[in-house]
Structure 1
């Protein structure tokens, strides 16, 4: 896919990723990187005694996975300036090892910055498992470049 600039964005628009299966290595590596060694995330025997009955991957892993998945689309590869925030994020259901997740991103609004030199695009994200259960969702506005001027 080619990079989209502010002028290229149609509101509303929807993008859907392919699936990605969460592995035991993902869960362990995320514990290592984050330092979050809660037994619910890393101890099989303990996790069996919880309401989930098995290990749950740390919730922030979902946001991390989501950002990697939408980056693969390449639609903002050259035009993204900055992720401005993560808003109203909801952890709706657990992520388990073996879940296959995909991302849906909806572009729901856009506007120019006060100086008019960049755009702001409003994005809604859903992280959805193999059973079509939304496990996480929220919004994340992004600053985006305007289309570069063409040389004469």
Structure 2
């Protein structure tokens, strides 16, 4: 930081990841597969504690055995939250995404302790905004388990910076 407390131009620029893409670098049909992550009991316990959602289908193994799932399952919103982290690990949004604008999202199958999930993501559509310095990318996103089953799916709408003009 400069001595007077103002930021230097280098400090005011966001850090751009090496795999990051600007709005104008996306093409419909591009796709990525994230790293995998195995779901643990700690994921359920931490999400229940953070949200106060102690529904027995998540927190009571004896109760959950009597459900169609046959065991405890991870909270649906927790799966979505983990999905956003797996997407981030792709690096395509690091320093170029401005905002997550919304989603349509469907929960298709349970995610259980011991399941290993990953994200498949594809550019569904791109749209410039009135501001030429940014645009919106709609991603088709699937959370898949170790068997390739789609557990959750939908569209994520994200605003990106356009590539700065030289």
TM-score range, shorter chain: over 0.9
Deviations 1:72-105 (A, max 9, x none): 1111101000011011x11100010000001001
Structure 2 partner of 1:5: 22
Match of 2:145 among 117, 129, 134: 129
Mapped pair 1:115 → 2:131: yes
Structure 2 partner of 1:59: 76
SS at match of 2:135: strand
**Aligned ranges for residues 94-113 of structure 1 at < 5 Å?**
94-113=110-129
Q: How many residues align?
A: 149
* CA distance in 2: counterparts of 1:91 and 1:11, whole angstroms: 24
**Aligned ranges for residues 1-152 of structure 1 at < 5 Å?**
1-87=18-104, 89-150=105-166
Q: Which runs of 5+ in 2 are unaligned?
A: 1-17
* CA distance in 1: counterparts of 2:134 and 2:145, whole angstroms: 34
* Cα drift, residue 42 of structure 1: 0.4
Give runs of ≥4 in structure 1 deviating > 6 Å: none
Larger Rg: 2
Alpha-carbon RMSD across the aligned residues, in angstroms, is: 1.0
Normalized against structure 2, the TM-score is what? 0.86
* CA distance in 1: counterparts of 2:148 and 2:19, whole angstroms: 28
